[in-house]
Every structure is written in structure tokens, then in C-alpha cells.
């Protein structure tokens, strides 16, 4: 089984990765925004891919060799999101405050549909 894990540097993803590598016969693609933040836990069975979840080109490339995808992202980067700017108001973040799970799911579904159309 080849599994794509979105948000691979998060706590849930790191624990899931550890368990999958220990207990399952799986090859993993660990997908995250900044690849330099993650050390490959098993270079023989895991590949690290860099890209944003809404970057269709990078996500399509990462999904090309997988049979399943797992989303371990938080829906928001923090509870303190400015309603006017749509940015997180936490001082250490200052990034885009909101990426909905629905937006990510739609992106993955669209890529799967396109891949299915190409192969049929």
C-alpha cells in the first residue's frame, strides 16, 4: 500500500507515520510545506514531498504514486483569526489564518477525478 500523508510534520501525522512504518507494509509519501522541517524516519519506505495542500501541481505530483491519502491537518492555524483580514492574529504565526478541510478535500477529489479521466 502506498499512502500519502498530508500535513506530515504535525503531531498526529508523526505518530501515524511511526505506527504505519512499525505495523504495516506501507510505503509513505510525507507531504508538508517545508520539507526541511522533517527528518525522514525510514528512507527505504518513506519519501518527503514539499508543497502546499492547495498547490494543485505539487499535490498532483505527490499523489501520482499513491493508492490512498490521509489528511492530518488542522482546519485552522489558530482560534484568533481576524474576520477582516482572514489572517491569524497570533504573533508567532502571522500566516494565512484559515485553510478549510473542505478546500483540501475538494482539491484531492479534483486531482483523483482528473487522474481517473486520464487513465480511462
Signed CA dihedral, 51, 53, 54, 59: sign only: positive
Over residues 45-74, mean pLDDT: 83
Signed CA dihedral, 41, 44, 50, 54: sign only: negative
Domain residue ranges of the chain, discontinuous segments joined by +: 2-119
d(C-alpha 17, C-alpha 28), whole Å: 8
Over residues 55-66, mean pLDDT: 85
Given a contact cutoff of 8 angstroms between Cβ atoms, the answer to whether 104 and 73 are in contact is yes
Sole residue written with cell 494543485 = 56
Given a contact cutoff of 8 angstroms between Cβ atoms, the answer to whether 73 and 16 are in contact is no
* pTM score, whole prediction: 0.67
Comparison of pLDDT for 76 and 55, the residue scoring more: 55
d(C-alpha 93, C-alpha 99), whole Å: 14
Instruction: Give the whole-number percent of the chain exceeding pLDDT 90.
Output: 20
What CATH architecture applies to the domain 2-119?
3-Layer(aba) Sandwich (3.40)
pLDDT at 94: 46
pLDDT at 63: 86
Amino acid at each position: 500500500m502506498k499512502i500519502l500523508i498530508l500535513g506530515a510534520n504535525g503531531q498526529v501525522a508523526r505518530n501515524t507515520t511511526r505506527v504505519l512504518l512499525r505495523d504495516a507494509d506501507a510505503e509513505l509519501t510525507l507531504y508538508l510545506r517545508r520539507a526541511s522541517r522533517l527528518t525522514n524516519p525510514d528512507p527505504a519506505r518513506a519519501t518527503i514531498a514539499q508543497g502546499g495542500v492547495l498547490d494543485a501541481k505539487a499535490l498532483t505530483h505527490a499523489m501520482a504514486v499513491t493508492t490512498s491519502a490521509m489528511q492530518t491537518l488542522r482546519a485552522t492555524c489558530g482560534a484568533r483569526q481576524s474576520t477582516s483580514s482572514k489572517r491569524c492574529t497570533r504573533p508567532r504565526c502571522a500566516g494565512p489564518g484559515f485553510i478549510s478541510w473542505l478546500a483540501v478535500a475538494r482539491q484531492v477529489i479534483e486531482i483523483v477525478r482528473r487522474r481517473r479521466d486520464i487513465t480511462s
